[in-house]
Structure 1
Amino acid sequence: MTDAPASQAPSSPSRPAPSRDSADAGYQATRRQGLAALTLGAIGVVYGDIGTSPLYTMKEIFAPATGVPLDAASLIGAVSVIFWALMLVVTLKYVVLILRADNHGEGGGLALTALAAQAVQGQPRLRHALLLLGVFGATLFYGDSVITPAISVLGAVEGLHLITPTLDAWVVPLSVLILVGLFALQRHGTAVVGRWFGPVIVLWFVTLGVAGGVHIAEAPAILAALNPVHAWDFLAGRGWHVFAALGAIVLALTGAEALYADMGHFGRRPIQLAWTGLVMPSLALNYLGQGALLMNDPTAIENPFYRLFPDAWLLPAVVLATAAAIIASQAVISGAYSMTRQAIQLGFLPRMRVRHTSAREAGQIYLPAVNWVLLAGVVAAVLHFGSSSALAAAYGIAVTLTMLITTLLTWFVVRRAWRLPAPLAIAATAFFLTLDVLLVAGCAVKFLDGGWFPLVLGLLLFVAMSTWSRGRSQLLAGIRRDGLDLRPFVDGLDTVGICRADRTAVYPVADPTTVPQALLHNLKHNQVLHLTNVILTVVFEPVPWVAMSDRIEVEPLGHGFWRVTLRYGFMNTPDVPQALTLAASHGLRVPVFETSYFLSRETVVPTPGQGMAAWRESLFAVMSRHASDVSAFFRLPDNAVVELGTRVQI
């Protein structure tokens, strides 16, 4: 049913922004937790990705391909660049600025895109361009969701080499085994293991800080890296080779987007407290410690992270690092589920099967199709690249492009929505754009070495998502072109000559101005019209939550016909039968056991010479055929659904 409400485009953002749905159990349960619990949860979920970066960052900065010499000046300079990159990009840009751009408490690429689109609602072309830009940024997240589990687990398991080189042959098989087990467990939800995420990652960050601090004490000269002059000298002294160095240094920033993406789960304050109170100090100490270690023992460049630990602690360190890598992987996997659901409800992907894995937490979902596609991508990445060093070449370009897109979208929010003074908005945007462009350029030099991988994946997804959005628009236009206007049809009904069934019929449609094809088929083949007929449209607003008070609009049309609009945010879980109970206060009664749902299952017929290119129309037709069951998506009762087919040309 390709024109079903699940495919309905977001309505115009010119409407007043609805408030968060007070009935959303997951959100309310989260907000009832104390600040300490939320901060602990943020440490476990938000910072797993950036927290595993010390496993491989320093090794890659001094890899032969970068041309950076392994001497004291370069060590101080490289650590200084890492420290100030964390301060400027993560602390200043994300923790201080971007976290303020909340869309009714939610963050992330699509939430920011919706805010930017609202800020330019009077300029349709610009709004459309921003929506496409935001969707492209969202597709890059999937590249990150493939590479992060692969590089994190590989980087952790590679510590086995230092225990005994004979285990080298087991690094890739063991990594694949861990990843397959992780993805296989997704269908059970994260509630059981999730409670351990926070404590394990806290232990991980404490270990990072302590291990680094021990080596700083042995070579305190590394503390000179806190002076930004050394960062400048390091970058300026590289010449054109600076981009190769930046391509490695950016590995220390991967995971920064998670601060913003997970804001809706934990809130701004816990994320800020976790960063300033534990995460940032621990990361800084560990990078400084690795620099100090290499100043004393340049041979430790083989694996500077694990060489921080004495031999007796290597095995526990590998186990803890592997646990941290699994948690980091879990965070991006869950994020991919959430991003996919948002894209579906904003009209950029066809319906997919969504399973809720928790009765208490509405945000804990599992999408089988996404899970297995991600697993295939992750295993392919591990087998193809084979090591964290090889994967490092593919890592970073998707993240830095996402950071660049975030800065561009934020400009429209701070200038158009927040009305910040032009000089301040321009200066801040120009500063962060400069940083982002440098980081993107640094990763671009690794394009042929693996950087193409996340870009190709993102472009393929962007083509699919833009094709689905465009195809839906053309499908809706085709329905309007070939359909009958609803109002004249109702006004001209011969209510005397038609048999009326004493039940309620609900017709979910994407276009509430035309007569549903299912209704026409019912009249034509069954010669019957129900006593009460509800023309139902579900609209997903470009905001995370729609309150119950704004959920339903009811319009009587006469002759037993009603036009009903249900509104949801892209974080709401649609439940049509439950929402229709609200119609009673508007004079419309929809009895649960006396209601049938008539669905129009459209078969898309690509037509040469109009609309999209032929291959895109064929792609849209394939996506339409494989869209999941609409009755399950909207929680319609199985024994009350009747499907009637029709063909629509695009």
Structure 2
Amino acid sequence: MSDKKQTTQISTEEPDKLRGKSFSGEEPGGKALWLAALTVLGVVFGDIGTSPLYALQKCFSGHGSVAYAPENILGLLSLIFWSLVIIITVKYIAYVMRASNEREGGILALMALIEPAHPKDRRKRTWLIVLGVFGAALLYGDGMITPAISVLSAVEGLKVINPGFESYVIPVAVIILVLLFLFQKQGTAKVGSLFGPVMMIWFLVLLGSGIVGMTKDFSVIRALNPVYAVRFFLTAGSESFLVLGAIFLVVTGGEALYADIGHFGKKPIRLGWFLLVMPALVINYFGQGAVLLNNPDLAGKQVFYYMLPDWSIYPMVILSTIATVIASQAIISASFSLTRQAVILGYLPQLKLLQTSSKQSGQIYIPGINFMLMIAAIGLVIGFRKSVNLAGAYGVAVSMTMLITTILMFKVATEKWKWSLAYVIPVTLFFILIDISFLTSNMFKIARGGYFPIIIGITVFTLMMVWHTGTARMVPVGGKKQRSLKTFIENIKRNKPDRFPGTAVFMTSEIEQVSLLMMRYLEFFKVLNEKVILLNPEIMDEPKVPPEKRVEVEDLGSGITKLVVHFGFMENPNIPNILKNLEISGKKIELDQIVYYIEYPRMEYGGKWNRKKFIAKLYSYMARNAANPVSFFKIPYNQVLEVGVRVYIK
């Protein structure tokens, strides 16, 4: 695919520093704002909202844990509180969310914002792209772990009800996961209105149970003082550093805040966070700490289920299971959205994609990705068997992504916002110090399961870069015979081939060159349709394209028209919808008289094994298993002529 256009518009909160336009209207206000804030609870905060089920437990069990001691509890609570403040509130809510690509967030959207200070410096541009793609690839690893650890930690409440139920935990968790992934083809639209209210109940329960827990020992409020966190590092030795891997579990939903701003806007997310989510999380963690101070024997257990009376265990297990399913739903949907962005940006082949809502474009279903996530999640549950074990694998990949986000934000702040280096450097170094501390601590998890998301991330990254490189360097055999469009049109006017009724649409990614398919067509048949459209569907590096910028039409003469159609990387391309509203030479196009000519690469490998042959082999395999572009662009199958073209990697 041809080079993408880099958007230079960024949504703004401070008109003097950031200036741009929003593609989806103003931020909601009034009742709409409160309704959006309610919906946000069920989508944005699902992951971070279920962390109290296992985060504090992990601090006192397994590798990287600390010994039970009152001073350690206060130190851990202080670390949890200030991690939520620094990473979620300051970094993501106040800093990262300011940078949105036409109000779309996520690491791929952030990557698309960045242009090198000097356009000729391709090495810098390549480095930034590679970094952004690697960060996106890493999210797939944690996307597989999240459903497994969330559902498993909730179902483990059965052991609290009755230790004899332990043998049922894994089968029940697997059944829930299977049902969850089978449900995906129905889409979240049918139950989306329930997510927000259910998660509001969940956060209110977190708040209430935390208050009840704090009544055991209100002295835990002292942990708000960062001195206890500092003292913990000074007295706990190496354990204080290793336990950061467990502390990181409380902030793993940070990337979701940024990724979902395009769906809801910034105000609803901020309102939900400050008004309910953050208070509920902090008070619940402090409530668990208060219970631990009075019950040392609970260290390393799910304290969450011991804060309330015995009669509440059954409903709490049910509610927590529902909450974790919702949290899993959010990360699965995010994986679908990330995949679609990667496909449209040219980093993955076209995949079968189903729209599950006629009103919300973000609600999609990708069968292949869904099946992959299901098999991985079930395998993780069976392999690791306990949520505390899965916690050892969780966080490695997302901590890397958070570090990459900080680095990319430095480029946005300096090149897009034109902020002073005297301001940006200290801010960036501060966040990098925090990110590296968590990343280094999480690295000790690699031997205990952390290798899994790394392997997944590297695999996905390899596939992305191979597809992008192969597409950019793919050359038709005999490509030297390819003519410029200008020369081709001159030959048409001079030789005047016979014409027959109808419209021929030749799909091409190189609009200034005549494709080998069109040349061969004319050489073989010596005829052309009365109308010929050279169609270049171009995917832009911006989420959505306004109607006035959708198409570029140029009449080349002799009944030949050059048509460039722009789609945003968050849109679902539909070529017939574009053509039915198009006029050529003052006349509407008859859709039923169109024949679409599409060429397919047939790779030639040749030579010994080397980097090019590896790329060619893997690219060819991916191309064979890709979705048909006919369905990707919503083209009627009965109006398509598909032709294979021999190509190689230059």
- TM-score (structure 2 length as normaliser): 0.94
Deviations 1:85-111 (A, max 9, x none): 000110000011111011101000101
Question: 1: distance between equivalents of 2:225 and 2:492?
Answer: 81
Question: 2: distance between equivalents of 1:563 and 1:29?
Answer: 36
Equivalent residue for 1:197, pick from 195, 217, 227: 195
Residues 77, 285 of structure 2: 8 Å contact kept: yes
Q: Aligned AA for 1:365?
A: I
Q: Aligned AA for 2:43?
A: V
SS at the partner of 2:583? helix
SS at the partner of 1:305? helix
Alpha carbons of structure 1 residues 618 and 359: separation in structure 2 relative to 1, 3 Å? same
Residues 355, 364 of structure 2: 8 Å contact kept: yes
Alignment of 1:592-607 (within 5 A): 592-607=591-606
Residues 117, 131 of structure 1: 8 Å contact kept: no
2:320 paired residue number = 321
Q: Structure with the greater relative contact order (CA < 8 A, sep ≥ 6): 1 or 2?
A: 1
Residues 120, 412 of structure 1: 8 Å contact kept: no
Residues 22, 103 of structure 2: 8 Å contact kept: no
Deviations 1:151-181 (A, max 9, x none): 0000000010011111101111110100000
Alpha carbons of structure 1 residues 230 and 497: separation in structure 2 relative to 1, 3 Å? closer
Deviations 1:604-628 (A, max 9, x none): 2224369943222200111111111
2:205 paired residue number = 207
Deviations 1:469-522 (A, max 9, x none): 000011158685452322212101266652201211110111112222332343
Residues 10, 539 of structure 1: 8 Å contact kept: no
1:5 paired residue number = none
RMSD: 2.2
Q: CA deviation at 1:31?
A: 6.0
Residues 40, 199 of structure 1: 8 Å contact kept: yes
Q: Aligned AA for 1:266?
A: F
Alpha carbons of structure 1 residues 353 and 193: separation in structure 2 relative to 1, 3 Å? same
Question: 2: distance between equivalents of 1:288 and 1:469?
Answer: 48
Equivalent residue for 1:265, pick from 259, 263, 269: 263
Question: 2: distance between equivalents of 1:163 and 1:402?
Answer: 38
2:149 paired residue number = 151
Residues 119, 417 of structure 1: 8 Å contact kept: no
Alignment of 1:449-468 (within 5 A): 449-468=448-467
Equivalent residue for 2:175, pick from 169, 174, 177: 177
Comparing 55-64 with 582-591, greater Cα deviation is found at: 582-591
Residues 17, 543 of structure 1: 8 Å contact kept: no
1:642 paired residue number = 641
Alpha carbons of structure 1 residues 319 and 500: separation in structure 2 relative to 1, 3 Å? same
1:282 paired residue number = 280
Alignment of 1:357-396 (within 5 A): 357-396=356-395
Alpha carbons of structure 1 residues 68 and 120: separation in structure 2 relative to 1, 3 Å? farther
2:305 paired residue number = 306
Question: 1: distance between equivalents of 2:645 and 2:594?
Answer: 23
SS at the partner of 1:90? helix
Comparing 510-519 with 365-374, greater Cα deviation is found at: 510-519
1:419 paired residue number = 418
Question: 1: distance between equivalents of 2:8 and 2:165?
Answer: 61
Q: CA deviation at 1:638?
A: 2.2
Comparing 413-422 with 63-72, greater Cα deviation is found at: 63-72
SS at the partner of 1:557? strand
- The alignment-based identity, stated in percent, is 38
Q: CA deviation at 1:122?
A: 5.1
Alpha carbons of structure 1 residues 72 and 260: separation in structure 2 relative to 1, 3 Å? same
Deviations 1:424-480 (A, max 9, x none): 101100000000000001100111001111000000010110000000011158685
Which structure 1 segments of 5+ residues have no match?
Answer: 1-7
Comparing 631-640 with 341-350, greater Cα deviation is found at: 631-640
- TM-score (structure 1 length as normaliser): 0.94
Alignment of 1:108-147 (within 5 A): 108-117=106-115, 121=119, 123-147=121-145
1:551 paired residue number = 550
Q: CA deviation at 1:524?
A: 3.5
Comparing 281-290 with 528-537, greater Cα deviation is found at: 528-537
Alpha carbons of structure 1 residues 170 and 514: separation in structure 2 relative to 1, 3 Å? same
2:293 paired residue number = 295
Question: 1: distance between equivalents of 2:606 and 2:170?
Answer: 48
Residues 148, 377 of structure 2: 8 Å contact kept: yes
Residues 27, 265 of structure 2: 8 Å contact kept: no
Q: CA deviation at 1:387?
A: 0.8
SS at the partner of 2:599? strand
Q: CA deviation at 1:340?
A: 0.3
2:528 paired residue number = 529
Residues 574, 634 of structure 2: 8 Å contact kept: yes
Question: 1: distance between equivalents of 2:502 and 2:26?
Answer: 39
Q: Aligned AA for 2:195?
A: F
SS at the partner of 2:492? coil
Question: 1: distance between equivalents of 2:26 and 2:621?
Answer: 40
2:400 paired residue number = 401
Question: 2: distance between equivalents of 1:612 and 1:468?
Answer: 13
Question: 1: distance between equivalents of 2:604 and 2:170?
Answer: 46
Q: Aligned AA for 1:13?
A: Q
Residues 37, 269 of structure 2: 8 Å contact kept: yes
Q: CA deviation at 1:646?
A: 1.8
Residues 104, 262 of structure 2: 8 Å contact kept: yes
Comparing 214-223 with 257-266, greater Cα deviation is found at: 214-223
Equivalent residue for 1:11, pick from 1, 4, 29: 4
Question: 2: distance between equivalents of 1:222 and 1:592?
Answer: 70
2:438 paired residue number = 439
1:4 paired residue number = none
Which structure 2 segments of 5+ residues have no match?
Answer: 12-19
Question: 2: distance between equivalents of 1:284 and 1:310?
Answer: 21
Q: Specify which structure has the higher proportion of helix.
A: 1
